């Protein structure tokens, strides 16, 4: 309890700004899906990035600086300003600046302060650039993935806004906004290939989405609906406790894995699943929504086994891991060791992959199957 109180202000600001940024993302996604123009840019590694990625990063950076002082805030985040600063990116930059100012003008609905006047282009670029920390074992570092699962985002599928706080190498606050994830489990459409377009857009439960959050050592994780229409955020009154599933029989368990084949081996995951008796087709999901599914009790297992040369980034896991653990789940690398968030931008020393489970029983079986299957794999 005392540990949770220690981070009460940080959690309060983080929950509010994630709600705000989920609203931003919804607007950008709707425009993206209805537009025939090219609003998606490819980065050097061919991964997509949109106006939403830069805009969310700018908004979070500005809000954190206003709340805690820019000199006191260290932010590890995914995007930089190189693309936005190119001569041929004038229109893109204008879109980002307009999106940021439109979002911040709504900040009061979420209990946050808006700027006295619209931010200038230089201020928006500065806010994005400020997110240049590399983390490490000492001090406090905010970790942000502005749009986790950008590929899902541009397809109208699952994505997340993920914000965490790391203190002396340990994740202490985790907030995960999932704008396209319905509050009602019964609305989930379990296709084995993805979770695309889970229910009609007219559904109120679909429209709300959810935000999950927790603090370290609290033993509790919470979920609340996204703010819709002109309503103001009523936090924490609108929140309810979430808990992992009690299912420990592999035959009854649902397991998640990434959609993209580029950074995970579906074949190896299938082998592990078969050897422990996971009978259901895998639920392939973009983004940290996989962690949300485990924490809420909608699924029991998440496995990811990276191919040689791929390095996991801390912003892809920090918020989701803490929320899953505080909801009663177990998250380790594939060797059964805790994930190490103290070594910079990457999860250095990761043993083969990541395994998240609803409980110890399933987790032990998965880890055992990984050891039994690894030597015969080509990973």
Q: Which of 12, 45, 50, 53 is the catalytic position?
A: 53
CA 367 to chain centre: 24
Residue 167 is assigned to a ligand binding site: no
Burial 10-49 (b: 16+ CB within 10 A, else e): bbbbbbbbbbbbbbbbbebbebbeeeeeebebeeeeeeeb
Residue 148 is assigned to a ligand binding site: yes
Write the CA distances from 333 to 148, 244, 306, 338, 361, integer angstroms: 20, 19, 11, 6, 16
CB-CB neighbours of 349 under 10 Å: 11
Q: What pLDDT score was predicted for residue 41?
A: 72
Domain boundary among 242, 259, 289: 242
Residues 171 and 317 in one domain: no
Report if residue 70 sits inside a domain.
yes
Residues 103 and 228 in one domain: yes
Residues 30 and 140 in one domain: yes
Report if residue 90 sits inside a domain.
yes
Report if residue 57 sits inside a domain.
yes
Q: What is the pTM of this model?
A: 0.93
Question: In sequence order, which residues have a C-beta less than 8 Å from that of residue 20 and are 6 or more positions away?
Answer: 59, 63, 103, 106, 107, 110, 112
User: Of the segments 15-19, 83-87, 185-189, 228-232, which one has the largest average pLDDT value?
Assistant: 15-19
Report if residue 379 sits inside a domain.
no
pLDDT digits (tens, 9 = 90+) for 262-280: 778 888 899 999 999 998 8
pLDDT digits (tens, 9 = 90+) for 96-147: 999 999 999 999 999 999 999 999 999 999 999 999 999 999 999 999 999 9
CA 210 to chain centre: 12
Domain boundary among 218, 242, 266: 242
Residue 88 is assigned to a ligand binding site: no
Residues 54 and 190 in one domain: yes
Q: What is the mean pLDDT of the chain?
A: 89
Query: What CA–CA distance (Å, rounded) separates 377 from 86?
Result: 44
pLDDT digits (tens, 9 = 90+) for 305-316: 988 888 999 999
| Burial group, residue 178, by CB count within 10 angstroms (0-12, 13-18, 19+) | buried
Residues 81 and 138 in one domain: yes
Residue 316 is assigned to a ligand binding site: yes
Q: What pLDDT score was predicted for residue 186?
A: 67
Report if residue 307 sits inside a domain.
yes
Residues 331 and 348 in one domain: yes
Q: Is the pLDDT of residue 174 over 60?
A: yes
Three-state DSSP at 151 gives: helix
* Residue 150 annotated as catalytic: yes
Q: Which of 150, 215, 254, 264 is the catalytic position?
A: 150
Query: What CA–CA distance (Å, rounded) separates 285 from 304?
Result: 11
Domain boundary among 242, 267, 290: 242
What is the tally of structural domains in the chain? Answer: 2
Report if residue 292 sits inside a domain.
yes
Q: What pLDDT score was predicted for residue 52?
A: 95
In degrees and rounded to multiples of 5, residue 255 shows phi and psi of -120, 145
Report if residue 141 sits inside a domain.
yes
Report if residue 24 sits inside a domain.
yes
Residues 226 and 356 in one domain: no
**CATH code (residue 34):** 3.30.540.10
Q: Residue 350 is part of which domain span?
A: 250-374
Residues 233 and 296 in one domain: no
Query: What CA–CA distance (Å, rounded) separates 296 from 264?
Result: 24
Q: How confident is the model at residue 228 (pLDDT cuts 50, 70, 90)?
A: confident
Q: How confident is the model at residue 231 (pLDDT cuts 50, 70, 90)?
A: confident
Residue 303, strand partner residues: 355
Residues 279 and 142 in one domain: no
Residues 119 and 266 in one domain: no
Query: What CA–CA distance (Å, rounded) separates 99 from 102?
Result: 5
Q: Is the pLDDT of residue 190 over 50?
A: no
Residues 234 and 324 in one domain: no
pLDDT digits (tens, 9 = 90+) for 60-73: 999 999 999 999 99
The greatest distance separating any two alpha carbons of the chain, rounded to the nearest whole angstrom, comes to 62
Residues 193 and 74 in one domain: yes
Length of the chain (residues): 379
* Residue 71 annotated as catalytic: no
**CATH code (residue 367):** 3.40.190.80
pLDDT digits (tens, 9 = 90+) for 26-51: 999 988 887 755 567 766 555 678 89
């Amino acid at each position: 309890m005392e540990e949770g109180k220690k981070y009460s202000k940080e959690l309060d600001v983080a929950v509010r700004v994630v709600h705000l940024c989920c609203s931003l993302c919804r607007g950008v996604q709707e425009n993206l899906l209805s537009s025939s123009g090219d609003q998606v840019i490819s980065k050097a590694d061919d991964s997509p990035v949109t106006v939403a990625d830069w805009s969310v990063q700018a908004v979070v950076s500005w809000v954190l600086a206003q709340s805690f002082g820019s000199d006191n805030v260290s932010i590890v985040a995914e995007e930089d300003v190189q693309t936005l600063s190119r001569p041929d990116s004038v229109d893109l930059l204008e879109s980002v600046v307009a999106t940021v100012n439109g979002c911040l003008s709504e900040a009061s609905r979420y209990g946050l302060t808006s700027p006295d006047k619209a931010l200038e282009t230089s201020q928006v670029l500065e806010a994005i650039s400020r997110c240049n920390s590399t983390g490490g074992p000492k001090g406090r570092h905010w970790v942000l993935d502005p749009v986790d699962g950008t590929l899902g985002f541009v397809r109208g599928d699952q994505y997340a806004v993920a914000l965490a706080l790391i203190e002396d190498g340990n994740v202490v606050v985790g907030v995960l906004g999932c704008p396209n994830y319905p509050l009602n489990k019964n609305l989930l459409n379990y296709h084995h290939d993805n979770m695309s377009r889970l229910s009609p857009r007219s559904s109120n439960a679909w429209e709300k989405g959810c935000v999950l959050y927790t603090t370290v050592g609290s033993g509790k994780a919470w979920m609340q609906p996204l703010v819709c229409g002109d309503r103001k955020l009523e936090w924490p009154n609108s929140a309810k406790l979430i808990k992992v599933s009690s299912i420990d029989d592999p035959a009854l368990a649902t397991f998640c894995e990434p959609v993209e084949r580029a950074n995970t081996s579906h074949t190896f995951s299938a082998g592990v699943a078969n050897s422990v008796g996971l009978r259901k087709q895998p639920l392939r999901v973009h983004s940290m929504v996989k962690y949300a599914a485990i924490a809420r009790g909608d699924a029991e297992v998440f496995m990811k086994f990276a191919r040689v040369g791929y390095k996991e980034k801390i912003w892809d896991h920090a918020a989701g891991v803490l929320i899953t653990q505080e909801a009663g789940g177990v998250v380790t690398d594939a060797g059964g060791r805790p994930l190490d968030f103290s070594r910079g931008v990457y999860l250095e020393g990761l043993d083969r992959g990541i395994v998240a489970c609803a409980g110890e029983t399933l987790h032990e079986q998965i880890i055992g199957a990984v050891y039994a299957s690894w030597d015969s794999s080509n990973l």
